[in-house]
C-alpha cells in the first residue's frame, strides 16, 4: 500500500552554517553510580576534575580539567556499582520517512482509529524497470484491526495537564493541529534573551533543541510532526489519540537542525539532559520513535557502557513516575535480536500492525515486544504540504502544513503514548507500571493474527480506559 507517486525519501545529513560546539573542549565522562558514592573525593587523588549532576542523584558529568584520562577511568571502573564512559556520540536512528504529496488524490483514511473493513489494502512491489510501484493485489482490510478510538473518546479526550515528551525531529509549530496541543512554558517570556523561569534554558517556550542548545524546535524533517499528530493532533478533521494532551518536543540529533556543523548524531549527555528537561517540565510520558545503533566496535548491547548509562537514565525517569514508550524498529528482524530502547524492561515496546490485523512486514518482532499498534498507512500530520522539497528543506518557513500517510513502528509507538495520556488523564494516580499493565493486559487488548511470529496482542484504547489495572502499591 505504498503510494504510487510523490514519494520522497529523506535520509541525508544536512550540513549548514557554523556554530561553535562547546563539546569539543576537555574530556567529558559520564558516570553512573547505583549507590550514593562520593567518587569525586576519590578522584581528587588522581586528577583535577569537576563533577556536575546530570540526572537524578545517580548520573554525573565529570570533566577532566587536568590529569590523565585513563587513570581517572581506571579509578572509576574499580569502584563497585559504577559505570563510566566517555561522553561518546550516541548513534540513533529514526526511520526514513515517506512523504506523499498533498495533491495525490487520496482520501484520508483513519483505519487505525476505527476500521469497519471497508478499505482495500493494496499490496505493492517496486518495479525497477519503470521506477514505479506496481499494485500486486488488493485485499479487503479486516474489521476491528484498529485501536477502537472513537469509543474511547466518548469516555476521555485527555487533560491539558498531561504532557507527552517527544524526542524526535521537532514539531511544525504553525500546523493547525498543534495550536492547542503544543506545550507552552507558562513561566518563560519568548525571545527576550532571558531565562525567565530560571530552568537553565533561555526562551524555552515550546521545548528545547539539545543538538544546538537553542529553543528552535521547528521540524524540518517531518518525522516528529507525524509522531506528534498521532499523540495529540487536535483540529477539525483530525484528532490524535489524546487530543487534549500536550506534546513537548525536544531535538537531540544534529541532523534535524539547520544549525548543524557536525555529522555526529548526538551525544549521550544530550539525551540525558533531554530526558531530565522533559521530566522537570512535567512530562508524564516520553515517546521514543528511534533505536540505538551503537557503532561497529561497540554495538548497542547491554555490555556497552553507553547503553548501560542510557538505560540508567531511563530508570531515573521511571522512578520519577514517567511512562516510557519506544518503537520496536523497522528492520523486520526476527525473534531473539533485541533493539533498544524498546527492549529495555522499563519501556513499553510497540510493534506495528497492518490493516489486515497482522504484523507489518517491516516491524521487528520478538518476545520483548509488549504490544502492537497500527503502523502502516497511518494518516497523520506533516509539516510540508507543497512540493518543492529541496527548497523547503533550506527554507522551513516556506511551507504549508498538511497530512500524509506514514509507515513505521515510529507511528505505532505514539498511539501507545497517546493511550497512556488518556489513562493518566482519567486515572491521575496511575504509576508507569499500572499504565503498562493496563495497556497490555490480555483482556484489554485485541487478538492479532501472528502468522508464526510471537503472539503479541494489539492496543485497544477503549478497553484499557474502562478496565484500569493497578499493580503498584498504593500511594
Ligand atoms: Ca527557561
Ligand atoms: Ca525568556
CA of 199 relative to ligand 1 center, distance in Å: 5
Q: How far apart are the first and last CA of the chain?
A: 48
Provide CB contacts within 8 A for 74, sequence distance 6+. Answer: none
The pairing of beta strand 163-167 with beta strand 283-288: parallel
Contact between 87 and 267 under an 8 Å Cβ cutoff? The reply is yes
369 lies in a domain?
Answer: yes
CA of 319 relative to ligand 2 center, distance in Å: 30
Length of the chain: 475
298 and 224 inside one domain:
yes
Ligand nearest to the CA of 190: 2
- Identify the pLDDT of residue 40: 82
- Identify the pLDDT of residue 386: 52
Q: Cell numbers at residue 45, please?
A: 587523588
104 lies in a domain?
Answer: no
Instruction: Classify 271 in phi/psi space as left (phi over 0), alpha (psi -120 to 50) or beta.
Output: alpha
What string of DSSP letters covers 338-406?
A: --TTTTSTTSEEEEEE-TTSBB-TTS--STT--EEEE-SSEEEEES--SS-HHHHHH-TTS---EEEEE
CA of 170 relative to ligand 1 center, distance in Å: 18
CA of 157 relative to ligand 1 center, distance in Å: 29
Sign of the alpha-carbon torsion through 355, 359, 363, 366: positive
405 lies in a domain?
Answer: yes
CATH of the domain at 301: 3.40.50.200
Q: Give phi and psi for 238, each to the nearest 5.
A: -145, 120
CA of 280 relative to ligand 1 center, distance in Å: 11
Asked, as a colleague might, if the bond just before 424 is cis with ω within 30 of 0, I would say no
Ligand nearest to the CA of 198: 1
Contact between 215 and 203 under an 8 Å Cβ cutoff? The reply is yes
Task: Tell me which residue range forms the domain holding 374.
Answer: 92-98+142-466
- Identify the pLDDT of residue 18: 29
Contact between 353 and 372 under an 8 Å Cβ cutoff? The reply is yes
107 lies in a domain?
Answer: no
Pairwise CA distance, residues 300 & 298, whole Å: 6
Ligand nearest to the CA of 189: 2
Total Cβ atoms within 10 A of residue 367: 12
281 lies in a domain?
Answer: yes
Q: Cell numbers at residue 440, please?
A: 497490555
Q: Work out how many domains the chain is built from and give that number.
A: 2
Contact between 156 and 223 under an 8 Å Cβ cutoff? The reply is no
- Identify the pLDDT of residue 137: 76
Collapse the DSSP code of 101 into the 3-class scheme (helix H, G, I; strand E, B; otherwise coil) and give the result.
coil
CA of 178 relative to ligand 1 center, distance in Å: 21
Closest CA to 64 of 87, 84, 47: 47
CA of 259 relative to ligand 1 center, distance in Å: 20
Pairwise CA distance, residues 235 & 428, whole Å: 25
pLDDT in single tens digits along all 475 residues of the chain? 333 323 333 322 222 222 333 333 468 999 999 876 678 888 888 999 999 999 999 999 999 998 889 999 999 999 988 999 999 888 888 755 555 444 343 556 889 999 988 877 766 676 778 777 677 777 788 999 999 999 999 999 999 999 999 999 999 999 999 999 999 999 999 999 999 999 999 999 999 999 989 999 999 888 999 999 999 999 988 999 999 999 999 999 877 776 544 445 689 999 999 999 999 999 999 999 999 887 777 778 888 999 999 999 999 999 999 999 999 999 888 766 788 999 999 999 999 999 999 999 899 999 899 999 999 989 899 887 654 444 445 555 566 788 888 889 999 999 999 999 999 999 999 999 999 999 999 999 999 998 888 889 999 999 999 999 999 875 4
235 and 355 inside one domain:
yes
CA of 59 relative to ligand 2 center, distance in Å: 28
Ligand nearest to the CA of 207: 1
CA of 185 relative to ligand 2 center, distance in Å: 10
CA of 82 relative to ligand 2 center, distance in Å: 38
228 lies in a domain?
Answer: yes
CA of 188 relative to ligand 1 center, distance in Å: 6
235 and 300 inside one domain:
yes
Pairwise CA distance, residues 361 & 130, whole Å: 24
The pairing of beta strand 348-353 with beta strand 371-374: parallel
CATH of the domain at 76: 3.30.70
CA of 208 relative to ligand 1 center, distance in Å: 9
- Identify the pLDDT of residue 334: 74
CA of 192 relative to ligand 2 center, distance in Å: 5
186 and 284 inside one domain:
yes
Q: Cell numbers at residue 266, please?
A: 548526538
Amino acid at each position: 500500500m505504498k503510494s504510487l507517486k510523490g514519494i520522497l525519501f529523506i535520509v541525508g545529513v544536512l550540513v549548514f552554517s557554523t556554530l561553535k560546539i562547546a563539546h569539543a573542549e576537555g574530556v567529558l565522562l559520564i558516570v553512573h553510580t547505583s549507590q550514593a558514592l562520593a567518587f569525586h573525593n576519590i578522584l581528587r587523588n588522581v586528577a583535577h576534575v569537576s563533577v556536575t549532576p546530570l540526572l537524578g542523584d545517580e548520573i554525573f558529568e565529570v570533566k577532566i580539567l587536568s590529569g590523565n584520562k585513563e587513570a581517572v577511568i581506571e579509578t572509576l571502573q574499580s569502584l563497585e556499582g559504577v559505570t563510566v564512559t566517555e561522553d561518546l556520540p550516541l548513534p540513533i536512528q529514526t526511520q526514513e520517512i515517506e512523504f506523499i504529496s498533498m495533491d495525490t488524490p487520496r482520501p484520508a483514511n483513519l483505519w487505525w482509529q476505527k476500521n469497519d473493513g471497508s478499505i482495500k489494502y493494496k499490496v505493492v512491489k517496486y518495479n525497477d524497470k519503470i521506477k514505479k510501484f506496481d499494485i500486486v493485489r488488493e485485499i479487503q482490510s479486516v474489521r476491528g484491526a484498529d485501536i477502537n478510538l472513537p469509543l474511547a473518546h466518548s469516555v476521555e479526550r485527555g487533560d491539558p495537564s498531561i504532557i507527552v515528551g517527544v524526542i524526535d525531529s521537532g514539531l511544525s509549530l504553525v500546523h493547525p493541529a498543534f495550536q492547542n496541543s503544543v506545550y507552552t512554558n507558562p513561566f518563560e517570556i519568548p525571545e527576550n534573551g532571558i531565562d525567565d523561569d530560571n530552568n537553565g534554558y533561555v526562551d524555552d517556550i515550546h521545548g528545547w533543541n539539545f543538538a544546538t542548545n537553542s529553543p528552535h524546535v521547528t521540524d524540518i524533517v517531518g518525522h516528529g510532526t507525524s509522531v506528534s499528530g498521532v499523540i495529540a493532533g487536535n483540529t477539525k478533521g483530525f484528532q490524535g489519540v489524546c487530543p487534549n494532551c500536550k506534546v513537548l518536543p525536544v531535538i537531540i540529533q544534529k541532523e534535524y537542525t539547520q544549525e548543524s556543523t557536525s555529522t555526529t548524531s548526538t551525544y549521550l549527555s544530550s539525551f540525558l539532559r533531554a530526558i531530565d528537561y522533559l521530566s522537570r517540565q512535567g512530562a508524564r510520558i516520553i515517546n521514543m520513535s528511534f533505536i540505538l545503533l551503537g557503532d561497529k566496535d561497540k554495538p548497542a548491547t547491554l555490555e556497552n557502557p553507553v547503553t548501560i548509562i542510557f538505560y540508567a537514565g531511563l530508570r531515573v525517569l521511571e522512578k520519577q513516575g514517567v511512562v516510557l514508550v519506544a518503537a520496536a524498529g523497522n528492520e523486520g528482524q526476527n525473534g531473539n535480536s533485541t533493539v533498544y530502547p524498546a527492549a529495555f524492561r522499563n519501556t513499553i515496546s510497540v510493534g506495528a500492525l497492518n490493516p489486515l490485523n497482522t504484523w507489518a512486514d517491516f516491524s521487528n518482532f520478538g518476545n520483548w515486544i509488549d504490544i502492537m499498534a497500527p503502523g502502516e498507512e497511518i494518516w497523520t500530520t506533516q509539516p510540508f504540504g507543497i512540493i518543492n522539497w529541496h527548497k523547503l528543506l533550506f527554507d522551513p518557513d516556506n511551507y504549508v502544513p498538511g497530512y500524509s500517510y506514514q509507515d513505521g513502528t515510529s507511528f505505532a509507538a505514539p498511539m501507545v503514548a497517546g493511550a497512556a495520556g488518556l489513562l493518566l488523564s482519567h486515572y491521575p494516580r496511575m504509576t508507569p507500571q499500572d499504565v503498562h499493565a493496563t495497556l497490555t493486559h490480555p483482556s484489554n487488548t485485541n487478538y492479532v493474527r501472528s502468522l508464526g511470529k510471537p503472539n503479541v496482542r494489539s492496543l485497544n484504547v477503549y478497553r484499557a480506559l474502562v478496565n484500569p489495572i493497578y499493580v503498584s502499591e498504593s500511594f
